[in-house]
Amino acid sequence: MATTLGWIILALPLLGCLALALFPRHGEPPKGPVIAIGVGSILIAFVLSAVVFASMLAEDPSERLHVDSLYEWIDIGGVSVDLAIRIDTLSMMMMLIITGVGFLIHLYSVEYMDHDRDYRRFFAEMNFFVFSMLLLVMAENFVFLIVGWGFVGIASYLLIGYYYQQADAVRSAKKAFVMNVIGDVGMVLAAFLLVRELGTLDYSEVFARAGELGPESGTALAVCLLLFVGAAAKSGQMPLHSWLPDAMTGPTPVSALIHAATMVTAGVYLIVRCYTLFDLSSLAGDTVAVVGMVTLFLAATVALMQVDIKRVLAWSTVSQIGYMVMAAGLGLYASAMFHLMTHAFFKATLFLAAGAVIHALGGEQSLDRMGGLRRHLRVAYFAMGAGCLAIAGFPGFSGFFSKDEILAYSLAAGTLGTIGYVVGTVAALLTAIYMFRLLFRAFFGPDPDGGYAHAPHPSRWWMAVPLSILAVLAVVGGWIQVPFGWHLIDDWLAPALVGAPEISPSHTQEVVSLIIGSIVAVAGIAIAWYLFGADRERRLRLAGVAAGPRRVLEDGYELDEIYDEALIGTTRDLGDALTRDFEPKGAGGIISAPVAIVRGSARVLRAAESGLVRTYAFALIAGVGAAGIVIVLAVVR
Amino acid sequence: MNVVAATPLLIMSGASVLALVLGVLPLGPRSRWAPALVAAAGCLATFVMAVVLWGERQVAFDGNVRADRFSMLLVMIVLTATLGVLALAQREPSAVDRRAEWTGLLMLSATGMVLVATSGDLITLFLGIELLSVSLYVLCAVEVWRERSLEAGLKYLIIGGIGSAVFVYGLAFLYGVTGSTRLSDIGATLSGASLTGEPLLLVALVLITAGLAFKASAVPFHMWTPDVYEGAPSPVTAFMATGTKTAAFAGFMLMFTGAMTGVESDWRTLVAAVAAVTILVGNIAALLQTNVKRLLAYSAIAQAGYLLIGIAVGSIQGAEAVLYYLCAYTAMTLAAFAIVIIREREVENGDTLAALTGYGRVRPWAGVVMTIAVLSLAGFPPLSGFVGKFLLFGAAVEDGMTWLAIVGAVGSAISLAYYLRIAVVMWSPVPDSEPAGRKLLRMPLAGAGVAVASTVAVVGLAIFASPLIRMCRAAAESLLAP
Amino acid sequence: MTGVPLAFYIGLSAAMFLIGMLGVMIRRNPLLLLLAVELMLNSANVALVGFSRHWDDSAGQIFALVVMVVAAAEVVIGLGLVVATFRQRIELDVDQLSTLKG
């Protein structure tokens, strides 16, 4: 029964998307049916997921694995790939998060997108996203994982560029897409390696026979690193992170659902799903952990200086996923999933609260033009407060438990883990500071200079209800797993993580970490209050200090500029090559070697097509000569 | 004498000649559809024969013509392309003006392709390639009042002549080495005696590779392709992109995967090198194009590179991947060209990117067709282009040519830049120059039908890939049957 | 086997092929280009006939006949196109055929 319901859960958002897309063209349809289909499909999917969850609870833990194949999709020389789904405890957890948080955000969008002309397109694309994400987590083999992976990329591309009239949005969408494709290439190559080594792509077989790759072998390392390229691109890990802050050009519910709660955590899911492979290569695991550490720290420093409310949250997402990736790299798979869950709650809360602010202020996103909102927007204030306390790790709130778990367990995970603990703790302090900076600047103090153009209007219940539910989850969600108490997440995931290394901290480590964690959170909030809350004058004085380093941070270490030219530019410039070619050259920055090479060779190739018959004849004959040389060289060797 | 195996060829020849003759007969204006109907009927009849002959190998004319699973699958692809182009050409000015010649030549060219696919001998193989080429030279230049069409035809003829000469010279040397023109005998000789590294054989390999690579428009023998694709009438371009490519790869598989498999070690590096260069050059050169036909020409070059991967690995699995990709490629190319052709009839210079700007907002279904076609060409999952590339790259990795798969993946990543540009342009806001509320022509039904059917195929061949892949495997295996 | 050794046939055909190749690269008149292509095709014929004698097999000679027919067809089409081009008052110089490029 579980799998039958699974197919229905998977089909519902797809049907919703198709139904919305196939509405008669002319004239926008009435909003009622659009809401009913768009939100209803996700609601039913959530209810069914809950039913499956309940039925799995009733089962013996060792039997909580259901695989079902619809039909054989392709069969390549003995490697058969089925359209199959897998419902185990890991995918079940993801399904609940995706449909649950997804439903709340859909509901919220009903009001948020109220003024939008393209209401139907929005819900069609959102439904498509949920379908793709479900496909990604429910796939039973690497091929459909990659298919889902590609689909969420498309959905993300469409929704980042939702306001296609703005050049910004289109540019960000393109950037996100191109960076994700880099990841996709990595995934595909990993899949090929698996086919070559194991002759199968089904999870069950790959993981059962992963040992054949050989522990610490080069192949295992290559497979893991290629998979991690995909994970890093999707989850905004350095150096492939820079698309994520730019992705904030999409509507806020999109940022909440795709670029905070679900899609960007797909990389973490992937690593946890493939833990058997990552356990084979300690070097791969270490690489993952180090990348996570670097990302979580640098992104936290950048978040300190952002002025755009959504960009603060975006950088914070990069940083928080850094925690999960570090945990996964250290082998703390259940902890990573726990933080993934609480993060989905509190980050969605934060984004939706930010959305309520932006909505109330008619599109204003700059912290400089906010202040005193506490008096105007009660619901958003409480929700934002709850979210901030949670993410800062204030004792008792959800982030406290999950972040502490990652940090405490890191202490038990060797030298690298200890380094991770230190980095993570410092970054936790920064997290508390930057989040409460946001809260204090937006909600406390006087109204901004010149006041608000029109009085901020509080949200109606469409936005208020989902926001409140999420806020409650952000507060209490962590109690599901309590140190020295109960470990429901660990227990639930255990059947899906059989054979993963058992790492658990000693009592002393646990206690020390809890205490330090609490102190750090409170200290961070206090510092933020001192700097940004208590005295407005002090904040303004601060603004003049160390302008140079500040600018570097504001620009995300200017990595963006560097990549723009060096990495992303290569590919993106290819797309823009034409337009630029006809434009007078600006005093653009450093043009790096790869860009120059590709663009140069494109021009040379165009010049070579001279239109002269004799040139073509010459090329043909020269080609014959070259072929002769190649064949002689090949045979001689 | 058993002529059953030759029936596809005979029906096609008959239909070609009949279509030509109908143009000469004084039948009056009511018969203007007659040539197209004869051609379509001929294609359908041949298709039925191809289905009937799908099975163990039968030979006709003393082994010069053979019908087996391999040749019949290719015949089906060629016929699909021919039918599609026939439909797309229904309102083409040159085709309206000279219905009989146009249709007759198209059918003759298709007959050449069928001959290539069913050939069992170097002579028939060469004859088929020449028949398809010579007919195409004329078709390219069929708009004699248009300088560019003439230029395309003449360029194609001259360069094509050189290509043919190189090819036949190579065939002559192959004959010199093996003493036979029969493909099966050549295969036996090359597998039996140790001829690896024989100088005359190497010369033959170089020349044959060059000749076939020319027809497949692989680098560095590709330079005619963009000019000819741009200058020729668009349905002819679509036919070259699909039919000629299929025939060229039929030749590649018959010669390399089939007859010359015994000396694989001699040619695999060469073919792999050509494949790699083709992928890179085709994709990079496409970046700067503004004319969609020209862009698709470079894309066709790059796609030839991917296909060559399947030849370079030299295995049954490689041929299987090539066959699948040819099916997928034919569908996606027809879809893309259908939109260009429809747009060309609505505006001046309809084959430029500028003309497609915002077209998806005017005609959403056209936008959907084009978007799916380019995404599939780029190899986006889970469209059939992705499945095809997956098979091709997979075959390369399996055969120890991982580097070639990586080149292919890099090329695909580059290609996204220009394929996505088409998709983005299609959905951009309608430019101001477009008069608001301009009345659109009524949709040409045949063209729209081809566009939609091809798109359905692009998606369908991916969703139900398994049966087709099994067919391709059976076809590829029959290639090596004694 | 008596008579002319095989190497001579190959040598002659290679010489013809190279001359044809040079011709297509340096000539600008389309008629002369066509002639050069003919030369290349006929070099294949010489080789075919030579090998045919070497193997004492008739297939090579049949092949040569087929090549001749094909070559004739190609030239006919070529001449037709040249005449059509000439009617458009385009100079008989292939270097002028360069509106299509890039």
Q: Return mean pLDDT, chain A.
A: 81
CB within 8 Å: C100 and B230:
yes
Residue ranges of chain B whose CB lies within 8 Å of a chain C CB: 122-123, 126-127, 130, 134, 137-138, 141, 144, 147-148, 150-155, 157-158, 161-162, 164-166, 168-169, 171-173, 175-176, 179-182, 226-228, 230-231, 288-289, 294
Domain that holds residue A607: 559-636
High-pLDDT (> 90) share of chain A, %: 7
Burial class for C83, CB neighbours closer than 10 Å (0-12, 13-18, 19+): exposed
Q: Number of structural domains, chain A?
A: 3
Same domain as A587, residue A503: no
Round to whole Å and give the CA distance between B480 and B320.
12
Q: What is the pTM of this model?
A: 0.77
Same domain as A61, residue A98: yes
Side chain identity, residue B304: A
Q: How confident is the model at residue A123 (pLDDT cuts 50, 70, 90)?
A: confident
Backbone torsions φ then ψ of A202, nearest 5 degrees: -75, 135
Same domain as A527, residue A609: no
Same domain as A244, residue A311: no
Backbone torsions φ then ψ of A73, nearest 5 degrees: -85, -60
- Express each pLDDT in A72-95 by its tens digit: 777 766 678 888 888 888 898 899
Round to whole Å and give the CA distance between B186 and B63.
13
Round to whole Å and give the CA distance between A202 and A411.
35
A199 domain-assigned: no
Same domain as A472, residue A416: yes
CB within 8 Å: A620 and B214:
yes
Average pLDDT, integer, range A448-452: 69
Average pLDDT, integer, range B315-338: 94
A417 domain-assigned: yes
CB within 8 Å: A571 and B417:
yes
A294 domain-assigned: yes
Residues in chain C closer than 8 A to B168 (CB atoms): 41, 44, 67
CB pairs under 8 A between B and C: 134
Round to whole Å and give the CA distance between A381 and A358.
13
Q: How confident is the model at residue A559 (pLDDT cuts 50, 70, 90)?
A: low
Asked whether residue A588 carries a pLDDT value surpassing 50, the answer given is no
Say how far residue B319 (Cα) sits from the centre of its chain.
15
A373 domain-assigned: yes
Same domain as A571, residue A429: no
Provide the CATH topology of domain C6-90: Helix Hairpins (1.10.287)
Q: What is the ipTM of this complex?
A: 0.94
Contacting chains of A (3 CB pairs or more, <8 Å) are B, C
Same domain as A91, residue A68: yes
- Express each pLDDT in A89-105 by its tens digit: 889 889 999 999 999 88
- Express each pLDDT in A216-272 by its tens digit: 788 888 889 889 988 888 888 887 777 788 888 888 888 888 887 888 889 999 999
Residue ending a domain, among A529, A549, A569, is A549
A positions 595-634 inside 8 Å of C (CB): 606, 609-614, 617-618, 621
Tokens read off for A363: 């599109």
Same domain as A515, residue A569: no
Q: How far is A615 from chain C (nearest CA, A)?
A: 8
b or e along B27-39 (b: 16 or more beta carbons within 10 Å of the residue's beta carbon)? eeeeeeebbbebb
Same domain as A498, residue A432: yes
What angle do helix axes B445-463 and B316-344 make, rounded to 10 degrees? 150
Q: Mutate which of C61, C97, C98, C101 to disrupt the B interface (most B C-beta within 10 Å)? A: C97
Residue ranges of chain C whose CB lies within 8 Å of a chain B CB: 10, 13, 17, 20, 24, 30, 33-34, 37, 40-41, 43-44, 47-48, 50-51, 54-55, 57, 59-60, 62-63, 66-67, 70, 73-74, 77-78, 80-82, 84-85, 87-88, 90, 94, 97, 99-102
- Express each pLDDT in B210-251 by its tens digit: 999 999 999 889 999 999 999 999 999 999 999 999 999 999
A73 domain-assigned: yes
Same domain as A443, residue A422: yes
CB within 8 Å: B138 and C63:
no
